[in-house]
Chain A
Amino acid sequence: MKDFAFFDAQCAIGAPILGNARGGETAAGLLAEMDRNGVDKALVAHANTEAAGAIFANENLLELIRADDVDNRLTGVWTILPAQCGELPPPDEFFAQMAANRVGALNLFPVAHRWQACRLTIGRLMDAAAERRIPVFLGQRIMDGGWRGVFDFMRTFPAATVIINGVSLWGPDRNIRPLLENFPGCHVELSEYWVPEGIADLARLYGAERLLYGSGYPRFGHGSTMLSIRHSGLPLEQVRLIASQNLERLLAQAQLV
């Protein structure tokens, strides 16, 4: 087992507004499930960001992680907002705060937080994030227009380092393949990619370095995608890339300070 380290790219903790946290209210709950399944590390967002907002979620996420993560196995994901209202510090300061607080990636919820994801609102931040290769999570569920919103975002910020998440269980190849083909900085986390033999197909077409293990916790458990990656049929060195090494690389290459 330990010849396969797993680094989970898609986790969330915190109490959702509608309940049903399935044990993920605290980092302790997540860490226990990671241990039960043999997952080493995780990149963690707040489970209630859409309802509670970026300001609360960014702060509360750190509190939750610090309360239980004594071995520093968890890395945070912070949520961005438009620059004009001054709710977040300027990019350099924001990125420095991320580094100081073990936060390694960004996400955004423009529909829930009622703003337009475009160059006018986040151009300066996204240009800086792209230049510093800071990973940004992007998903069809949270963008205005679904996949159209994802495509618009990628056309607007083609140099961004992006992790496409929440791809939907209804085989998303018609949408993710054009993104992988056209944007070299685009990656896909696999928690909802359940296509038979599909992981190997994507790796052969676009490279195993574009794919990331993600559990989707707490909606999904850790184990099912672990087994589908383990037995994807790919060479072991590519399995290891997908299981953990790609995410390690993305976080290491991000220049937060």
Chain B
Amino acid sequence: MKKAVWEQPGSLAEAFWKNGIADIPIYDMHGHMGSHNAIYFARCEAPEMVAHLRRIGVRRLVFSHHYSLMGSFRNQRVHAITARFPDILRMYVSISPHQTDFIAEDLEQFDSMTPLAIGFKFLPDYHKVKVTDPRYEPVLNFASERRLPILVHTWGGSPYDGPDVMLEAATRYPQVTFFMAHSFSGDLPGAKRVADACPNVYFELTSLPGQHTIIERLCADIGSHRLLFGTDMPWFDEYQHVGGILSADISEDDKHNILYRNVEKLLGKDW
């Protein structure tokens, strides 16, 4: 019988299977922190999250705090948390379009949060405001001037962050690097349409690794050079998501691209 994916000599899968870690960095580009109304998290604070990340060799987790996205927890407090683990944590400045005074403050203070803050996080489906709404404009203009990334929650069929809306936003702001969180989950043709039209768009994979044939189809239709690894940590286990990439029927190069190469091309190795 042919050897299983975990037994391929010299492969990433073999290394992770044997050792639980491999000689590569992992960049997890979609994390959160803090408790959540609808789910029990045993490990949602920085120390225990970091312990989990270190076990599998995550070099950077870029996160937005649940309390900032859903509540009134200010981004400066998130920065203070991030600063406790500067060797592994980075943050997105969370944006709520309903808090315009917070947005003004965050943009004013953004420089004080760098280099730990690398960009912004939008959650349009939850805030029920389209990405093209004027309330997001100050942030989009700011990110455009500085060529900063924005991680946007995207979902197939959404009127707030679905393919049509994101196509319009990414076309209007070509200097912004958009990370499409969840890659428009459930709408692969929509994702391809955005990918074909907008070179400034990358597709983040949270909740997709492990879904049978999805990673293969994304690699075939969009290309592994446009895909970014992410887990929604503390939602999803790093081993589960890495396992979904490693066991996908894609090339070894594809796996390297997804887990770290694409991020290093975008942001370098020292950030």
A residues within 8 Å of B by Cβ? 1, 22-23, 33, 35-38, 169-171, 173-174, 194-198, 201, 217-228, 230-233
Contacts and interface: CB of A to CB of B under 8 A. Distances in A.
A38 B38 CA distance: 35
A167 B218 CA distance: 26
Nearest to A6: B4
A101 to B, nearest CB: 26
8 contacts: A38-B4, A38-B6, A194-B235, A194-B240, A221-B210, A221-B211, A227-B17, A228-B243
Contacts of B233: 196
Nearest to A32: B2
Contacts of A232: 239
Contacts of A196: 42-43, 49, 52, 233-234, 236-238
B72 to A, nearest CB: 24
Contacts of A226: 6, 243, 247
A140 B210 CA distance: 21
A197 B4 contact: no
A224 B243 contact: yes
B266 interface: no
B209 to A, nearest CB: 6
Contact of A171 (B39, B52, B249): B39
Interface string B48-60: 1100100110000
Given A37-B247, A220-B211, A1 B17 contact: yes
B246 A223 contact: yes
Contacts of B4: 1, 35-38
- 9 smallest CB-CB distances across A and B, nearest first, come from A223-B247, A38-B4, A227-B243, A224-B210, A224-B244, A224-B243, A171-B39, A228-B239, A228-B240
Contact of A195 (B42, B244, B246): B42
Nearest to B243: A227
A76 to B, nearest CB: 21
Contacts of A230: 17, 20, 239
Contacts of A170: 38-39
Q: Sort chain B's interface into a size bin.
A: 35 or more
Contact of B212 (A22, A173, A195): A22
Interface of B: 1-2, 4-7, 13, 16-17, 20, 38-43, 48-49, 52, 55-56, 207, 209-213, 233-244, 246-249
Contact of A225 (B16, B43, B49, B243): B243
A61 to B, nearest CB: 19
Given A35-B4, A228-B239, A223 B43 contact: no
B70 to A, nearest CB: 15
A226 to B, nearest CB: 6
Contacts of A225: 210, 240, 243
Contacts of B212: 22-23, 33, 217-221
A174 B211 CA distance: 24
B158 to A, nearest CB: 18
A170 B232 CA distance: 11
B6 A231 contact: no
Contact of A223 (B20, B236, B243): B243
B235 A227 contact: no
Report which residue of A174, A194, A220 has the largest number of chain B beta carbons within 10 angstroms of its beta carbon.
A194
Contacts of A219: 211-212
A37 B235 CA distance: 25
B246 A227 contact: yes
Given A22-B212, A174-B39, 20 more contacts: A23-B213, A36-B249, A38-B5, A170-B39, A171-B39, A171-B40, A171-B41, A196-B49, A197-B43, A198-B237, A218-B212, A220-B210, A223-B244, A223-B246, A224-B240, A224-B244, A227-B239, A227-B242, A228-B239, A228-B243
Contact of B42 (A169, A198, A224, A227): A198
Nearest to B211: A220
Contacts of A221: 210-213, 244, 247-248
A197 B247 contact: no
Contacts of B235: 171, 194
Contacts of A37: 4-6, 247
Contacts of B6: 1, 37-38, 223, 226
Contacts of B5: 36-38, 223
